[in-house]
Structure 1
């Protein structure tokens, strides 16, 4: 019996060989936004994993949009050249049918921070910090967080232009699709959520106004890179009373669909320290189901999905159209091989690695 996890899927103008996606994972290892040798090996490794969709990490559209000094970007010629170098190398070793996308983003009020393993706190005055911006002059938290400048009309139009320019760079670098990062408390999410958007102009207030910037960005990106499939990642809920809620997530998904998005990756939270997230294996799958049914658009489920049987059930039961795997792929870079072996499916590693396939099959049979 064919595993549903390993059936192909067509999204927009692209066909993927299976329903496994590599979720975008910040590496904090870039040089002024440019992909480094770390990215070279990382992307090549992901390319050989067996996942049909590889979405590289949050990639910022301007320098002040980075979370940290180490964040990836597509705002300069050097960024573009470095991304092409790493992507070209990844394509040379990728398994047949693998598609590569970039997640374009702007950190907004969550920018100018230390890398997580350095504590994640605000950059000090002698550590080259930079002014940050947001929908409103509301800090992420009262303690340890810089108060952002509220973007004016010119600033908002500048953000839209930066996204469009980064999309053009993504196309020239050779990516297959663009995913807009509207989740986890970053700038587009900051406009969407009433927790961070206190504006009274056309960019704030009603949900229609709060979603205006993300949709204008989507339209600008689609125009700038018409040959690249468009998608979006959203935080379906803030997990905070009075914040962005599931019905809002469905509404923005519908609007993204109308703007040309082919799928929605359904995550949650990240915009308030008051969030109460009931974390656990597959804790966000119900959000992907709600958006899939409510907006009638393909969805990608994400969040502590590390068991092949769980991933198979998500697809087979119609809860989502794809599953995105992150930490499990760091722990086991051949997770898709293991999933195939566990589910009794053939898998075809790179010929240089084929001699290891019997080990994977034996290991998975021993754990059934």
Structure 2
């Protein structure tokens, strides 16, 4: 059996193979964030045949203040649960498991979309975003309300029939802003060294675990900012170990303030050195995405034990038959 076809066992989220469709924003939802027929058709097309083991649904906002863009999917109100259930049912019918990614944009949000001034851990403009305004620094009450919003969103995801929830702490969004020393200049308990910078993450994980019970929790971590003064590999390893200890069941490795690419780096699996470093620090499964467009490239990352699961994004986005062709090429 090839590496990509091996099942993932002895985990809270067992999977039939190692191929994952990672979250990619479609900007197809209704204006109020509800799932519509366009989104259902999109995910139906991507999951037909059941060649993917897991589909992670695009980032959805946990509160209006954290909405990243127009027509972004919402998990901010109880009223969206029924439409989300239609999506999870469809993907299950096609033979795949599915997880919903939940997010707050923080200083990556814009007032034209949210109607509110953006917030962040500190009054520091977002280096992942062009022409970013300086956000208001969150006070402790603001942090508490965000923790509650993530908790409530995860409960909605569970009610909607998903197989798990993914906390988004990558690509320059709010939790990534707390994680990165480039944007977190706080001097209270939520800043300073890596222990302080992940305090909000640990509170969110704890709140979700308490409210949703034994529900699989994934966390997407921007394991590198790829910028001077940014997150170090050592800090990523310490954060990953703390997330596992707090109850995270799977880590999904991508970029931080560099977002989903590394400037000037083109080779397949460009985040694999970071997922390999994280794997040294944890015992839970580690997923990596980034630049993989061939089955042979995915096989190499798995063979070299740099990750346990492979996310293929843009290749599947461009070609809905990619997963089928990749799996058949390995026979």
User: If the length of structure 1 is used for normalisation, what is the TM-score?
Assistant: 0.84
Aligned to 1:104: 102
Aligned to 1:150: 137
Aligned to 1:116: none
Q: What's the CA shift string for 1:82-127, capped at 9, x where partnerless? A: 21122223323x12xx211011111100012xxxxxxxxx73xxx7
Runs (4 or more) in structure 1 with deviation over 4 Å come to none
* Displacement of 1:205: 1.2
Aligned to 1:47: 47
* Displacement of 1:289: 0.8
- What residue ranges of structure 1 are gaps of 5+ in the alignment? 113-121, 345-368
Cα contact 1:239–1:277 (8 A) shared by 2:
no
Quick one: distance in 1 between partners of 2:213 and 2:303? 32
Question: Superposition pairs for residues 79-158 of structure 1, below 5 Å?
Answer: 79-92=80-93, 94-95=94-95, 98-112=96-110, 123=112, 129-141=115-127, 144-158=131-145
3-state SS of the aligned residue for 1:155? Answer: helix
Q: What's the CA shift string for 1:170-222, capped at 9, x where partnerless? A: 01101101111111111111011111011111111121111101111111112
Q: What's the CA shift string for 1:129-181, capped at 9, x where partnerless? A: 43211101111159622221111110000000000000110011011011111
Q: What's the CA shift string for 1:223-272, capped at 9, x where partnerless? A: 22123211111111111111111111111110110011122111113368
Quick one: distance in 2 between partners of 1:106 and 1:205? 21
Aligned to 2:249: 262
Cα contact 2:224–2:257 (8 A) shared by 1:
no
Aligned to 1:20: 19
Aligned to 1:358: none
Quick one: distance in 1 between partners of 2:10 and 2:232? 26
Aligned to 2:274: 287
Distance 1:28-1:270 versus aligned 2 partners, 3 A rule: farther
Cα contact 1:183–1:267 (8 A) shared by 2:
yes
Question: Superposition pairs for residues 64-79 of structure 1, below 5 Å?
Answer: 64-79=65-80
> How big is the alpha-carbon RMSD for the aligned residues of Structure 1 and Structure 2?
1.9
* Displacement of 1:73: 1.4
* Displacement of 1:128: 6.5
Aligned to 1:10: 9
Distance 1:147-1:16 versus aligned 2 partners, 3 A rule: same
Count of equivalent residues: 326
Larger radius of gyration: 1
**Is 1:239 matched with 2:240?**
no
Quick one: distance in 2 between partners of 1:337 and 1:83? 26
Cα contact 1:12–1:229 (8 A) shared by 2:
no
